[in-house]
Copies of this chain bind each other. A is one copy, B any other.
Amino acid sequence: MSSSSAAQAAKPPMRDALVAAAFQLFLERGYEQTTVDDIVALAGVGRRSFFRYFPSKEDVVFPDHERCLADMTAFLAASAKEDEPVRRVCDAARLVLRMYAENPTFSVQRYRLTKQVPGLRAYELSVVWRYERALAGYLRGRFADRAGGTLRADVVAAAVVAAHNNALRSWLRSDGEDDAGAAVDHALGYVQAAFGQEAPGHPGGPDHPRAEGGEDVVVLVARRDAPLWRVVREFETVLGRG
């Protein structure tokens, strides 16, 4: 029994073998020119094994997104009331980056493939949309009790996804050589500065100034007609200087 288990562990799981075979063929022949039959022949398994793991040929290109989406959903569901919502969705987005960064070679290969095949690009858009809806769904819950909560939730979710993808693409274009973590921290920091804690208000918001502290910047929002003393007091309060 133990020697059979060891043999099992030494052999990469069938799912991984299918992904490896698929990418070998995609790179050699192109995506469109590779059939599921070609993939299973190279991996040495039957068609049914392929479809047990992947509903379609497109899915083998993105083998980890379902797990990552499930991880993100679980992460958001495990949030506490004390978690600052914008920071929380930024941390959720970092789970996606981590999935890419875990395997730079594979991620860079897939990036090049996706750019060439319109069908994969469409698939990727639908995946990105599901991440965005997961983030927006969490934020909608957190902002449920305020006016314009769904608007704020949708805008913040879209901004987080766009910032994440900007950093991710920069990293992919560097062939995975740059520091992915630093790039995404910078990008998400920008979104947190814009929307974190309380967002920088908007017309129709409360008529007193609001100051919100980020890591090392303070965003203060005031109506044009706010008295200066109020603005100063709010600024001092948020800095703990008052």
Q: Which residue of B lies closest to A241 (CB)?
A: B228
Asked whether, in the complex, the Cβ of A217 is within 8 Å of the Cβ of B201, the reply is: yes
Q: How many residues of A contact B (CB 8 A)?
A: 57
The 8 Å CB contact of A194, one of B150, B165, B189, B199, is B199
Given contacts A187-B151, A203-B189, contact A220 B220 (CB under 8 A): yes
Distance of A154 from chain B, by nearest CB (Å): 5
Q: How distant is A194 from chain B, measured CB to nearest CB, in Å?
A: 5
The binding surface of chain A is classed by DSSP as helix
- Asked if A166 and B190 sit within 8 Å, CB to CB, the answer is no
Q: Which residue on B lies nearest to A231, using beta carbons?
A: B235
List residues of A (112-131) whose CB comes within 8 Å of B's CBs: 121-122, 125-126, 129
Copies in the complex: 2
Task: Enumerate chain B residues within 8 angstroms of A200, measured Cβ to Cβ.
Answer: 193-194, 200, 217, 219
Q: Which residues of B contact A186 (CB under 8 A)?
A: 148, 151, 204
> Is A42 engaged at the interface, CB distance under 8 Å to the other chain?
no
Given that A152-B190, A158-B158, A232-B232 are contacting pairs, would A205 and B220 also be in contact in the complex, using a CB cutoff of 8 Å? no
At the interface, yes or no: A39 with Cβ under 8 Å from chain B? no
Chain B, residue nearest A161 (CB) = B158
Contacting residue for A221 out of B219, B225, B226, B239, CB 8 A: B219
CB-CB under 8 A from A167, the residues of chain B are: 151
Is A134 positioned at the interface, with any CB of B under 8 Å from its CB? no
Q: Which 7 A-B pairs have the closest CB atoms?
A: A158-B162, A193-B202, A190-B202, A220-B220, A158-B158, A154-B166, A125-B125
